[in-house]
Amino acid sequence: MRASYLVLGLLALSISLVSSTSGSTRCKNQSGGNVDWFILYKLPKMQKTKGNAFTPAGGEFVYIDSDSPTSARTWTLSSQDLYRPPNPLAYTLAPLYQKDVPQDILYVVYNDQSPDRYNGTRNGHSKGVVMFDEAVGIWLLHSAPRFVENLHGGVYTFPENARENAQIFICVTFPATQLNAIAKQLRMQYAKRVRQGILNGDATKTRPDGSPLQGQLHTWTNDETEYRQRDQSRRKTIPQRCQEGQPGS
């Protein structure tokens, strides 16, 4: 129930704040056009059975966005495939697949099941992408392990190990004024960073109105580093405490 309220709140905020804003760091539809939000549900891979006319291979998805007709806003089975561009994810995250690291955007990719070797984590069970320029950006929340992989590899890819199960992707476009609020939520989640980049390499970059663009983001980065250091220290001391007959927590 709480997740439903979060989604509704994100969509309402997006509609009220971003309707007149343009920019490349925006949620993109199936044609590469800007939308305030989209929800994409990847179908699970299914075995062929007798009498089953439709057997998903794991790349098919149903889709809905802010431009869908309000008179009949329902899920639509897309003709696209998440394993082959074009598709909304490839369009939306195109800057992150460029070989040259973009110098005009700020981004953070977080995933508790990161593309590198996964040995478990005590970070929050959360996955997503935050990507902003000085005026507007996106928050993409999803459930796919190892996504986003091949960052700055020059080509869009989708993780093969995400094929078997269903996955959900919720993209919402926000004005840059909301970035600190988003970063605050990530701090509360202890989201596990996979990679990040900074606007023009300048941690003090401000919006046109002079307000800081990434204060909470850097606070979150520092908090996460400190959290990991505390956690590693705690793990080292538990065996010592056990040997001494003291509680391990």
From the CB of residue 85, how many other CB atoms can be counted at a distance below 10 Å? 18
pLDDT at 120: 53
CA distances to 230, 234, 239, 247, 248 from 242, in Å: 18, 12, 5, 7, 6
CA distances to 106, 130, 172, 174 from 137, in Å: 9, 7, 9, 5
pLDDT tens per residue across span 67-77: 988 766 789 99
The C-alpha torsion from 121 through 10 and 155 to 113, rounded to 10°, is: 10
Question: Are the CB atoms for 127 and 194 separated by under 8 Å?
Answer: no
pLDDT at 208: 53
pLDDT tens per residue across span 235-246: 555 455 445 555
Alpha-carbon span 169 to 226, nearest angstrom:
30
Tokens representing residue 38 in the block: 């989209």
Alpha-carbon span 138 to 172, nearest angstrom:
6
Q: pTM of the predicted model, to two decimals?
A: 0.75
pLDDT at 14: 41
Q: What are phi and psi of 188, to 5 degrees?
A: -65, -30
Alpha-carbon span 91 to 30, nearest angstrom:
8
pLDDT at 50: 79
Give the residues of the chain that fall short of pLDDT 70. 1-23, 71-72, 115-124, 190-191, 193-196, 198-249
Question: Are the CB atoms for 137 and 17 separated by under 8 Å?
Answer: no
pLDDT at 232: 55
**Domain map (residue ranges) of the chain:** 2-243
User: CA nearest 128: which of 99, 104, 108?
Assistant: 108
pLDDT at 139: 96
